[in-house]
Structures are given as structure tokens and as C-alpha cells.
Amino acid sequence: MHEYIEVKHISDKKGRGAFAKKSIKKRAVIDVAFVVPIPNQEYKKINKTILYNYCYIWEDPKHKPEFTNAITLSISQFINHSFEPNVKYMYDYENNAIEFSAIRDISKGEELLVNYNGLIGDKSPVWFDIEE
């Protein structure tokens, strides 16, 4: 399985989440999630399915405007949103990947959280009701 992440059920309403299997140091790379860029025509279909909730904006300058979204193939799909994240993600267009790293020390058993808006301090509304 994964070195840093385990997936656990949180609640019926919130679903599952990613949790630290062991203590994680600040700046440690937690996961490298490879992505599948989604052609815009296909994204219009995904937009009406549950997969929409797992898509990232993917604006690789080499493939714009044909692909503006992607989905990861990784356990990091289970990292939930928070406006007080302990993890950040960075796009790696060269390798078609998203790198997730700790922005502070994270304790074993702590839920891993990212700001779905992409920037750590961005408090813009998200597309769903937040369950704390």
C-alpha cells in the first residue's frame, strides 16, 4: 500500500478521507499523483457525474485549450478540502503529475487536508457545502 496515506471512512455524509499512516515532516512529499488529462468534449459528460468531484483544473500551456481538466490516478483522490490545510499541491506539467507535500508537521492519524482552491490562503467558496 502507500507509505504515508491510509483511507478511512469518516461519516456517511462526508464519506472517506486520507489520513497520515505515520508522522510526516514539513515539506515531505506525501504523494505524486499522475493525471489523465480530460479532453474538453469528454469533460462536459463527466461534469454530470460523480467523477466531477474528483477533477482538477489542468491548464498545461502545451495542451491548452484542448484539455483544461484532469483526474488523478492516486490515493490522494481521498484528500479532503479545508480552508486550514496541512498539505499543498503543485502541478508538474512536464510529468503529467500533481505533487502533494506537507506544509507543516503532521501527526500520525491526522487527516490530510488541502485547499481545493489551489492556494493555501484562498478562502473563495467551493462548489459544495463544507462538512467539518
Q: Give tens-digit pLDDT for 39-71.
A: 888 888 988 898 888 888 898 888 777 878 899
Q: Cα–Cα–Cα angle for 6, 36, 117, nearest 5°?
A: 65
This model's pTM is above 0.85: yes
Report d(CA 101, CA 88) in Å as an integer.
6
User: What local confidence, expressed as pLDDT, does residue 23 receive?
Assistant: 98
Q: Binning pLDDT at 50, 70 and 90, where does residue 132 land?
A: low
Q: What is the CATH number of domain 5-112?
A: 2.170.270.10
